[in-house]
Structure 1
Amino acid sequence: MYPSMKNDLIIRAARGETVERPPVWIMRQAGRYLPEYHKVRSKQSFFEMCQTPETSCELTLQPINRFDGLLDAAIIFSDILVIPQALGMQVVMLEQKGPHFPEPLATPEDLEKLEKVPNIPAKLGYVMDAISLTRENLDGRVPLLGFSGAPWTIMAYMIEGGGSKTFTKAKSWLFRYPEASRRLLNMVTEATIVYLTQQVYAGAQMLQIFDSWAGELSPQDFLEFSYPYLVRICEGVKKELNKSKRTVPMIVYPKGAWYALDKLCDSGYDVIGLDWTMDPKEAVRIRGDRRVTFQGNLDPNILYGGREIIESRTKEMIEGFKGGKQGYIINLGHGITPGVNPDDVRFFLEQCHKYGSQT
């Protein structure tokens, strides 16, 4: 048994309940903007940190400890690219460059190199160990989120070999090899369902799916090559968890897919993450009376703009989501960037509490 919860605000908000103030957490809150992160990073490679439960736990707790009482959730320190690793691909994290696949998928024949049905509990057991350890060490202060990457985003990395500005290789697959693309998306989807379910069994209390490259697809291609797989993950995880009478809120974050918001409101996810390109008031209008919670969506770069703009934009954002006491979780519109001053993060969080409590 884990320690009882002292703060379940985000879980209640995700379920659509009326809350005393909108909860707040930050995507990538455990990471490179914190000096304490770099002390740990100097001793281990990135994936070594992910694969060492004690290190993952320590990094997950760093922002919770630094911003004590200001964050309403922790998110396990890991990476979305552990799924390609589980499927048999090599992934390394290059300093100042990001993820790199030495042998990306070049043709449909390369799918034969992948492990079609990987043993997720065995291959990614270190993530589950980290979740269990972190849940214990959180001592009920805030809920713990698990996460994964969305199939399209994972597929893009596997084919591009890393990040991309044009996604020419990955999109060429969609258009030249649609059947092979679906095979790969199905493979990632099935592995992700098992992975997310195992995270909940290990102690995760909420789940987020990051579709970081959703906005690189046209509306037509998003509805063909991303949306159906997002829905399958949501349905598959909830169905599996239901067998043991478990339920956790699920968040989908499709960056850049503002055009699909109406459709996403019917996707089955409890929470939809919005990036900064979506006007809060317009999002609320599109949602209508559907019981869906929104999450977001301050531009992370506002945190570089000084205290005055941080305060004013945070206040405007909260007001745009109708004050946020029902159907809203405060977050950035994307992950926090490495150069942000932690003191400005603290100021942002304080403004979230200030204006979230006032409305």
Structure 2
Amino acid sequence: MSAAADTVSGRITGLADKCVDVADGNSASGTQVQLYDCNGTPAQEWTNPGDGTLRAFGKCLDVRDGSIADAADVRLWDCNGTPAQQWVITEAKDIVNPAADKCLDVRAYNSANRTPLQIWPCQGAANEKWNTSALGTSSGTGPQNPVPVPTGDGGSTSGFVVSEAQFNQMFLNRNSVYTYDGLLAALGAYPAFANSGNDTVKKREAAAFLANVSHETGGLAHIVEQNTANYPAYCDAGQPYGCPAGQAAYYGRGPIQLSWNYNYKAAGDALGIDLLNNPGLVESDSSVAWKTGLWYWNTQVGPGSMTPHDAMSNDAGFGQTIRSINGALECDGKYPAQVQSRVDSYVGFTQILGVDPGGNLSC
């Protein structure tokens, strides 16, 4: 068979049925490769010439600078025969770069137009699945059976249903205080968390907790409340123990944005940590920060009728966790955009974990 006959071409579709696209139809080397509405233009026409490459405009899909690191960008580049331009299309609908042993991935699970594509550890999630039927099921001379893609448990050896790779995928731009190891260390304070019921229930609860704290902290980017003008307001001087750390010391901190002197007192008492006198521990100690989030999740009803832990472990649905955290301001049509933001994060995280999100998502 001639080389011309070996070459097949077509579009590659992924998250939200959008296309792998060369930004702005620019054929120059270095142009970003991204997700974009399918439009039938040459910028979305990819060929598989049978040499392990995927090409548009006669140039190759390339991992920037030959990187094998998580989150390395992909781009268009002159074909040069390097491992950065080798791809294997698997029957599981992954597109794998064997040199990095990582999958072509839509960054941050974002289906918006112009979201960059990258390489990331293969998780089996929807943002790493591609319809390449026009290009065949395997590409090039690379391995036809690459390293197995992890299933929904992510290969975690900690006993927690979220692996470190999955956690990193959920929170690409997190504050350095929010470490995975800190989260693992905090789990012992509430052993029932994400550890009640079957694997589906466990994964849904982990996704629900992480989705809510992601919303509260801008994707774990913020360890403290951003509006400093509010700081002096969180001292309830009517409490018998007062505010020993100072009038403005009890502002929002940590993954659930713990605030008010009485909440620092209650959380500290429950955890055996003197947070009333040392509230700064919540922003400096990763384990303490995570423990305060788990304290609220597992013990506090808030404006709802049940704790978030009970909502997820008893299959009441993600919407009830929103109600328990901020229902007075967001639920019952008060702030639907905020509710939807939480739901979107939850659905995205359940997909990363490989589990159905269940029903009753909104409040």
TM, length-normalised to structure 2: 0.25
From the CA coordinates, give the structure whose radius of gyration is larger: 2
The structure, 1 or 2, with the larger RCO (C-alpha pairs under 8 Å, 6+ apart) is 1
